[in-house]
Amino acid sequence: MGTRKGIVIKAVGGFYFVDTPQGMYRSYIRGRLKRETEVLVGDKVKIKVFDGDNAIVEEIYPRQNKLMRPAIANVDQGVIVMSMANPPLNLNLLDRFLVLVQAAGLKSIICFNKIDLVSKAEVKEITKTYQQAGAIVIPTSAKTGDGVEILGEVLRGKVSVLAGPSGVGKSSLLNRIQPGFSLQIGKISQKLRRGRHTTRHVELLTLARGGRVADTPGFTSLALDEIDQRELRYYFPEFIEWAPNCRFPGCLHWREPGCAVKEAVKKKQVDQGRYHRYLDLLQELEG
C-alpha cells in the first residue's frame, strides 16, 4: 500500500505510533533493523503500510540529537519544569537537568511553576540567578494562569521536551496551554512531599498553535555518566566571562591557584550556590 514518511510520537508495547501527512500508523520494527537500531520517540522514519493503519518501519533517518533520560530524539529545546514549592525547589536536580540539556545541544528554558505559593521576591531572585546562567526563565502558575501564554508561545513551532521531577505541574501546564490534552494530573503526596509518577511513557503531543511537545515521566535523579569532567565548566555559562583571566589554561575552577572564577565567586559576581553545585558535580565526575 506504499511508503510514508513520518515521526514516531509514541512507543508502547513494542509498537511505534508514526504520525504522517496521510494519518497515524501503528508500526513495528523487524529483521536487521530491529537487531541494530533502537527506535526513539521523535525519530523521523520511513514506513511501509501493509494493512490499513498498520505498517513496518523500514528506515530511520539520521538524528539531529537525542536524550536518554527522557529517551527522545530530534528535540529543538529542553523545558525544565521545577516547582517553587510543593514539592520544594530542588536546585541540585535543576542544575543536573541543565547540564544534560546543554550537553545534548538543546536550547535551555527553565519554567519555575507554582509561583503563587511563594513571594514575588523569591521568584525575582531565582529568575535573576538563572538568567545570568544563560537560560530563558519563565515563571508560571498552572493554577492562576500566570506566565502560561508566554510558555505557550515559546513552544510554538518547536519540538520541545518538558522534563522535571514528578509533581511540579508539567501535565497541568500543558492542559492549561491547550485544554483537551486530558493528561492525567497527579496529586502531591502530603506524607512523602513528592509527586506520584502520573505520566508513564514519553509521548509527543501536537500543539494546535504549531509544534510538538513531549510530556515525560518525572525523575528524581539523573546520572551524568556521559559528561567529561573537563567539559562540565562549559555548561555553566556564567563562568565564561571570567575564565579567560584564569592563570592556567584549562582551569577547572576548583583547586587551581589564580582562578578568576573563584575570585568572581568571592566578589559575588558569580552565584555562590551555582558554583558550589558545580563543584559537587565535578567531584562526582572525578569519582
CA-nearest of 19, 16, 59 to 37 is 59
Entry field: residues in the chain: 287
- What pLDDT, on the 0 to 100 scale, is given for residue 196? 43
CB 263 within 8 A of CB 203: no
Chain segment 140-154, per-residue pLDDT in tens: 999 999 999 999 999
DSSP state of 188: E
C-alpha cell at 141: 502558575
Q: Helices (H), strands (E): how many in the chain?
A: 7, 15
**Axis-axis angle for helices 91-103, 272-286 (nearest 10):** 70
- What pLDDT, on the 0 to 100 scale, is given for residue 9? 93
CA–CA gap between residue 29 and residue 267 (Å, rounded): 57
- What pLDDT, on the 0 to 100 scale, is given for residue 234? 95
- What pLDDT, on the 0 to 100 scale, is given for residue 193? 43
Find all residues with CB under 8 Å of 192, minimum gap 6, and list them: none
- What pLDDT, on the 0 to 100 scale, is given for residue 222? 65
Q: Would you call 115 helix, strand, or coil by DSSP?
A: helix
Could you give all domains of the chain from N- to C-terminal order, each with its CATH number? Answer: 3-60 (2.40.50.140), 66-215 (3.40.50.300), 229-286 (1.10.40.50)
Q: What angle do CA 42, 48, 51 make, to 5 degrees?
A: 115
Q: Which segments in the chain show pLDDT lower than 70? A: 69-70, 182-200, 215-222
CA–CA gap between residue 50 and residue 154 (Å, rounded): 39
CA–CA gap between residue 54 and residue 234 (Å, rounded): 45
Tally of CA atoms within 13 A in the half-sphere of 82 that contains its CB: 24
Identity of the amino acid at 223: A
